[in-house]
């Protein structure tokens, strides 16, 4: 299941009850069991070991995702972990023999780092500290027995960097965080030489040192609205490759000189979209690709060998999108992952020397992509003249020409400073399979469209950001796609806030709403953030609002104070251990609605956090949502 930005869910409806639908068109879609959309993948997260002897993956054991290893050329997998309380959060190869993985407790996001050998021996908890969160700073691919991690055990509000021996668990502190540093970076020799700090809450600084024996010195300070984001050191460890928007609206790939604190060369920019990622070849010591997202992910190639590799893979993989999940140290074997808007795709092993591309497994073989619906890129103009991009998914058999008077679910994304992207989304496909059209919109503030589009969202929760979503509803109605009396809004996190704001501020638009771990009160939200967000609190005040200086605006934008305007039925779901959106956000919204006599259904899971990850909780959640939407949109 993808990271929590958020999911979208829908009702199972009687296909013959759809207004304005052709019976033959609707019946052409085979109704697929709910569990097939939301069960754990059969196998996912494939990685190849550094020397290429093994590949590893995650698969269900007693309904929890655990780690398995297979020796290449053999078919018998070995299960390395057997956690039955919660999915393993993530893992990686520290060296050819040892795997490291992260897990938390009940969704509290206090991740612990554990290790186990590829043969299942020597399991060890490396950072088993109560109430402490572990971050991976650098997996040090060229240093087999060490990684660099961040821990907030000295001070819960900041992370100190440590060098960790993956065999013994020995920790060596590399620097003490003065309270402002939010990120650390090593050079190609594994030396900690760069840090990113937030000064005065709103200014970003790059701190640099020539060797680990020196003190860090400030080489550049900018307001957080401008940024130079170092990606990695040049291969002589003297300069930096970075992604920067200094003096420009869109981020671009640049070379940055830490000795002068200035950009020395601009290597690539796209006039329409931010560059989001920069890659390099560890073996050949060249930069390879820059990525950006239009309606799909796109790549700019810096060297011919990388371009030829992707062209070779495209020849066999056809119309599927794909990416390189992992590679051996010699870059002679690769794990390839495919996907599309109608498929979770498959994993392949590519042997460069033999030029063999071998399919390993389908991620969800029980899903027939021919029964899934295309995800169409759309755009419309907001009421104040902005171009808003998004994605419309129509039930199978419908096109933009014949889709009329459909029930619709609006699905605003979380973040809010994130974005929706093209690809397979189980929740959206479920809705489409049940006869819903689903609209996702990248409202102002969504990332990837430049600094101005992001910045104009500041202090606009419940205002112009909300207007962009409302304008999407009106676009659907004007196109004749939506039945104006059967539109629901559903989202999680910030999307949950947008759901509540939609029902409170534009009640005429929606017949029902579903809020998944959403913010209801901007005052209490800002007062209950995780401790490690506190250094960024002034930035949040500038982006969301200051509880003192902007108190009137925040009260006006907080749905909990406008429960008297909410008339549509509402379903709220919440994880009891959520560290980002405290359960009080949902509790107070439910109490306010009940006091006003508004129908509200409330689900709380005691073993979950910011989103439901355990399979049985997901099933319960989606069954309830299906029933709720069926009840309120199919009347």
Task: Cite the active site residues.
Answer: 493, 578, 610
- Which residues neighbour 523 within 8 Å (Cβ) at sequence distance 6 or greater? 547, 551, 554, 555, 558
Alpha-carbon gap, residue 501 to 495, rounded angstroms: 10
Q: Is 24 exposed, middle or buried (0-12, 13-18, 19+ CB in 10 A)?
A: exposed
**Structure-token match 């060297």, residue found:** 303
Alpha-carbon gap, residue 531 to 533, rounded angstroms: 5
Q: Which phi and psi (to 5°) does residue 633 adopt? A: -105, -15
CA nearest neighbour of 219 among 237, 234, 207 = 207
β-pairing verdict for 90-93 and 98-103:
antiparallel
Q: Give the CA-trace dihedral at 412, 417, 419, 424, to 10 degrees.
A: -80
Question: What is the number of alpha carbons within 13 Å of residue 278 lying toward its C-beta?
Answer: 24
Q: Write out the two tokens for 586.
A: 């949902």
Alpha-carbon gap, residue 136 to 157, rounded angstroms: 17
Terminal CA-CA length for the chain: 32
β-pairing verdict for 171-173 and 160-165:
antiparallel
Whether a cis peptide bond, with omega within 30° of 0, leads into 166 is no
> Is the CB of residue 390 less than 8 Å from the CB of residue 401?
no
């Amino acid at each position: 299941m993808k990271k929590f930005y958020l999911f979208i869910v829908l009702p199972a409806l009687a296909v013959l009850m759809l207004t304005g639908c052709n019976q033959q068109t609707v019946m052409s879609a085979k109704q697929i069991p709910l569990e097939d959309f939301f069960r754990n993948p059969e196998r996912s997260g494939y990685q190849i070991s550094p020397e290429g002897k093994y590949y590893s993956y995650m698969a269900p054991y007693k309904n929890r995702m655990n780690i398995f290893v297979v020796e290449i050329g053999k078919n018998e997998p070995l299960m390395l972990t057997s956690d039955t309380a919660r999915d393993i959060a993530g893992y990686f190869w520290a060296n050819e023999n040892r795997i490291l993985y992260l897990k938390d407790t009940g969704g509290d996001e206090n991740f612990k780092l554990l290790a186990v050998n590829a043969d299942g021996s020597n399991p060890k908890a490396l950072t088993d500290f109560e109430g402490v969160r572990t971050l991976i700073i650098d997996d040090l691919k060229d240093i087999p027995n060490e990684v660099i991690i961040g821990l907030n055990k000295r001070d819960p509000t900041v992370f100190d960097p440590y060098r960790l021996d993956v065999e013994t668990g020995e920790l060596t502190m590399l620097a003490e965080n003065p309270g402002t540093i939010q990120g650390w970076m090593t050079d190609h020799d594994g030396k900690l030489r760069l840090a990113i700090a937030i000064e005065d809450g709103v200014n970003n600084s790059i701190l640099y040192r020539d060797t680990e024996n020196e003190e860090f010195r400030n080489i550049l300070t900018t307001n957080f609205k401008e940024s130079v984001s170092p990606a990695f050191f040049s291969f002589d460890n003297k300069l930096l490759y970075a992604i920067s928007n200094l003096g420009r609206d869109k981020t671009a790939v640049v070379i940055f000189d830490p000795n002068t604190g200035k950009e020395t060369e601009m290597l690539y920019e796209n006039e329409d979209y931010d560059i989001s990622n920069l890659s390099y070849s560890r073996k050949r010591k060249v930069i390879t690709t820059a990525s950006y997202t239009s309606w799909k992910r796109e790549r700019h190639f810096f060297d011919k060998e990388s371009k030829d590799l992707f062209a070779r893979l495209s020849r066999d993989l056809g119309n599927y999108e794909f990416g390189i999940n992992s590679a051996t140290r010699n870059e002679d074997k690769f794990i390839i992952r495919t996907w599309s808007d109608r498929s979770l795709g498959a994993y392949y092993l590519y042997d460069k020397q033999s030029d063999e591309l071998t399919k390993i497994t389908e991620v969800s073989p029980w899903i027939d992509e021919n029964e899934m619906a295309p995800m169409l890129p759309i755009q419309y103009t907001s009421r104040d003249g902005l171009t808003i991009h998004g994605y419309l998914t129509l039930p199978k058999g419908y096109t933009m020409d014949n889709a009329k008077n459909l029930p619709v679910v609006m699905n605003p994304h979380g973040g809010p400073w994130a974005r929706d992207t093209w690809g397979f989304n189980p929740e959206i496909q479920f809705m489409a399979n049940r006869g819903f059209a689903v609209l996702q919109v990248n409202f102002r503030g969504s990332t990837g469209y430049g600094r101005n589009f992001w910045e104009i969202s500041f202090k606009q929760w419940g205002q112009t950001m909300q207007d962009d979503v409302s304008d999407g509803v009106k676009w659907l109605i004007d196109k004749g796609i939506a039945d104006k009396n059967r539109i629901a809004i559903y989202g999680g996190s910030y999307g949950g806030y947008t759901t509540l704001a939609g029902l409170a501020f534009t009640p005429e638009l929606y017949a029902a709403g579903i809020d998944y771990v959403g913010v209801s009160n901007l005052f209490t939200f800002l007062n209950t953030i995780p401790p490690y967000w506190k250094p960024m609190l002034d930035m949040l005040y500038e982006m969301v609002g200051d509880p003192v200086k902007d108190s009137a605006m925040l009260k006006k934008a907080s749905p909990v104070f406008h429960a008297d305007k909410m008339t549509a039925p509402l379903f709220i779901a919440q994880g009891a251990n959520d560290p980002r959106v405290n359960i009080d956000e949902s509790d107070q919204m439910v109490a306010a609605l009940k006091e006003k006599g508004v129908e509200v259904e409330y689900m709380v899971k005691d073993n979950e956090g910011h989103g439901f990850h355990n399979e049985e909780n997901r099933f319960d959640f989606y069954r309830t949502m299906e029933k709720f939407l069926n009840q309120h949109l199919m009347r």
